[in-house]
């Protein structure tokens, strides 16, 4: 059986009221994260959990808490993109926002 879980994107919610939900979404109010509830409730024989970015510790802990065999596969971080012949990452976006707001001068902007 395949099922999904929810997560809040830090990048999308940054600078809005939605960013208040980011850390809460990582920890939740339950000792078992939503990625592991179906495993506990449906008496699965095991879980395979696919994670990415920085959400893996909570998912790993959830698999351990339901006390059934589990495998946590980490998909890795976001790969850089290409723009004007160079690699760009989320850090470049943050620096561009700082530059646009006047908090970073032209010497630091690329």
- pLDDT at 29 (0 to 100): 47
Does residue 69 have a pLDDT over 80?
A: yes
- pLDDT at 93 (0 to 100): 80
3-state secondary structure of 13: helix
3-state secondary structure of 86: strand
Higher pLDDT, 44 or 14: 44
- Residues with Cβ within 8 Å of residue 11, at least 6 apart in sequence: 90, 93
Question: CA dihedral in degrees (34, 39, 42, 43; nearest 10)?
Answer: -150
Supply the pTM of this predicted model.
Answer: 0.54
- pLDDT at 30 (0 to 100): 53
Round the average pLDDT of the chain to a whole number and report it: 75
Domain limits, the chain? 1-77, 78-110
- pLDDT at 85 (0 to 100): 93
Percent of the chain beyond pLDDT 90? 5
- pLDDT at 105 (0 to 100): 65
């Amino acid at each position: 059986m395949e099922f999904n879980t929810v997560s809040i994107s830090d990048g999308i919610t940054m600078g809005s009221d939605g960013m208040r939900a980011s850390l809460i979404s990582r920890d939740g109010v339950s000792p078992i994260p939503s990625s592991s509830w179906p495993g506990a409730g449906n008496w699965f024989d095991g879980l395979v959990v696919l994670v990415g970015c920085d959400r893996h510790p909570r998912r790993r802990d959830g698999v351990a808490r339901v006390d059934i065999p589990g495998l946590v596969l980490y998909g890795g971080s976001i790969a850089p993109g290409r723009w004007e012949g160079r690699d760009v990452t989320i850090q470049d976006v943050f620096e561009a926002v700082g530059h646009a707001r006047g908090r970073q001068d032209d010497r630091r902007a690329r």
